[in-house]
Amino acid sequence: MFHLGWFVGKGYSVHEWNKPWSGTIGQDWMEPDLYLDLARALERACFDYMLIEDGSFVADAYKGSAEYYLRNAYAVPKSDPLPLVPLLGHVTKRLGIVATVATSFYPPFLAARLGATLDHLTHGRVGLNIVTAHNDRAAQNFGLDRHYEHDLRYEMADEWMEVVNRLWASWEPDAIVADPQTGVFADHSKVHPIHFEGRYYKSRGPLNTAPGPQGRPVICQAGGSPAGIAFAARHADSVIAKVRGAAAAKSFRQRLSAQMQPLGRKPSDCKVLFATSVVLGDTMDDARDKRARMTAALADSMETRLAGMSYLSMVDFSKYDLDAPLPTITTNASRASFEAYLSGDGGKTLRDMLLDPSGGGLDFVGTPDSIAAEMGEIMQDVGGDGILIQDPLTRKTVAEITDGLVPALKRRSLVRKAYQHERFRDNLLAF
């Protein structure tokens, strides 16, 4: 069997605005209903988790202006996903709920306290998607002139994780006595300052709230660069990976496993879910026609893809010749996500890359049953732990996946038919 996750890749934002099947998102984007409906559907389908992306800036890389991003609701407006977590927890009982936290901008004590609080409110079902953030504009919103260098961000994040782990461990498991006979609520001898002083962070501790039911929230991570993989090997319970094709997916799993073992961690301690795009049809011809229409529409959405590449890289792609091979691009921003956006063939022109219909991950086109069979074969070959469904997010796509594809997967016994445990981490480690 393999695990299932859903990546809300545009965060708590405006999904598929002004497109078919988007409903009234232009008016009610700030309401929680779309996410509540998604969470209910995912739990019915026995998904492991939903993960909500986040970012803290208004992009202006494309043509040196914020106009395109604001006019088209591209990653803006975007609200903080953390307040959604208890709402999602209230309408579900088993689904893991993962919100994004940027180590570069959240002080460790604040993040540890939020994580513990949300774990209590969800009865042990919260996860934190640990990112280092990728953009100078975000850094400038938090008082920096420029963002920290890419690999330095991960060095700092290592120390950040050490602090939050110590804070979550600052209360011993039996520190709360709550004995009305003795009048003792918490045993002071079992709550400890951490007195941490490192190169980048300093915290006295202890945490002023008790850790949640999981002790430590599930830690998710999405960095695919060498520094990101090394970070995941040390800290992550689940990794979301966006790589092109089964061979690259297999290589990613092998690289992560090789780095985990010297650290005393088994590969099974960290579940890798591979980003996936799915084009479903009632028949194979329906699915192929749908994919063909999507591919044809790319010619009219080239500016969107240019703006997206600019968003991820902080490089203005409007200045490049569409009909010339793309030169080597170096960026201090989101390296792995940016590279997944490219076609991978250095001989192609920028136009060819923009017209590439691939989603940048594992791509499936077919009927629910044909895709279920293909997913089973690829997961067996890759040695991966699961599939991560990614945008677009509309109620139609949710129904296609949860009421169309997942039943086909269940008929083949490829995914769980019921949750075995109450808590997120226990379900994640169940197989």
**pTM for the full predicted model:** 0.94
Say what the pLDDT of residue 206 is: 98
Looking at domain 3-173+180-281+363-428, its CATH architecture is: Alpha-Beta Barrel (3.20)
Compute the half-sphere exposure of residue 134: CA atoms within 13 Å on the CB side of its CA.
25
The mean predicted confidence, pLDDT, of the chain is 94
Question: In this structure, are residues 229 and 267 in contact, taking their beta carbons and an 8 Å threshold?
Answer: no
Say what the pLDDT of residue 356 is: 82
- Report the amino acid identity of residue 240: I
Average pLDDT over residues 74-103: 98
**Helix (H) or strand (E) segment spanning residue 8:** strand 3-8
Is the pLDDT confidence value at 174 over 60?
yes
Is the pLDDT confidence value at 3 over 60?
yes
C-alpha span between 133 and 154 (Å, rounded): 10
Instruction: Give the tens place of pLDDT for each residue, 386-428.
Output: 999 997 999 999 999 999 999 999 999 999 999 999 999 999 9
Q: What is the DSSP string of 325-382?
A: BPPP---SS-HHHHHHHS-S-TTSBHHHHHT----SSEEEEE-HHHHHHHHHHHHHHH
C-alpha to C-alpha distances, 417 to 2, 240, 406, nearest whole angstrom: 11, 22, 10
DSSP code at position 171: B
Is the pLDDT confidence value at 343 over 60?
no
Say what the pLDDT of residue 186 is: 98
C-alpha span between 350 and 334 (Å, rounded): 19
Say what the pLDDT of residue 203 is: 98
Say what the pLDDT of residue 342 is: 63
Domain ranges of the chain: 3-173+180-281+363-428, 287-354
Is the pLDDT confidence value at 188 over 60?
yes
